[in-house]
Amino acid sequence: MPPVTLALVFANVAVFLLQLAVPAIVVPFALWPLGSARIGGVSVGFEFWQLVTYAFLHGGILHLGFNMLALYMFGGPIEQVFGQRRYLIYYFICVVSAAIAQLAVSALMGTVYPSIGASGGVFGLLLAYAIYFPHNKIMLLFPPIPMPARVFVVVFAILELILGVTGTQEGVAHFAHLGGMVGGYAMLRYWRTGGSPRRPF
């Protein structure tokens, strides 16, 4: 596993273990909607550091496991294409753009619940993987159907949009996932216009 991807996985696992030991750390570091509210007698609200810190928190071992598996599968090859510095920039651009999308949706919906998880960054990596390795096969878990990466990412994006609009899968930040993809695509386009090497466009 390339070094930056390995470091990200290690950091996520370490923070998850810290969560288990000190569950209260979720409150100040999760992504809260804009404004403030009182939850259980405690005042909570959005802080700028949450645009990044939320991505290192997870809601359980399965949440962590799926995200780290995806980070390993898609992050490693993309790190080898981008190089360490550009890869790290790309990942955190996706994390922040996912957070911004979630904040916008939360403001529109009037929700007061926090968001956690690395999925926004992972979905950005999935997009980059589909662009750089469009013909590589990815196997769905349910149902176990292999499909080219470019088809996989389109199917996933459409599914996320449908689930987000209909509110079918409550408790999942579907628009944050889409925000990670949008931020990643914008970054790739920006690098293309700047003459970045190994352009897939």
What pLDDT is recorded for position 68?
94
What pLDDT is recorded for position 146?
82
pLDDT in tens, 9-39: 999 999 999 999 999 899 889 999 887 666 6
Assess whether pLDDT exceeds 60 at residue 200.
no
Tally of CA atoms within 13 A in the half-sphere of 175 that contains its CB: 17
Written as six digits, the tokens of 1 are 């596993």
Q: Do the beta carbons of residue 92 and residue 100 sit within 8 Å?
A: no
For the entire predicted model, the pTM comes to: 0.88
What pLDDT is recorded for position 157?
82
Backbone angles phi, psi at 112, to 5 degrees: -125, 20
- Bridge partners of residue 139, in order along the sequence: 146
> Which domains, from first to last, does the chain contain?
3-193 (1.20.1540.10)
Assess whether pLDDT exceeds 90 at residue 201.
no
Average pLDDT over residues 45-66: 92
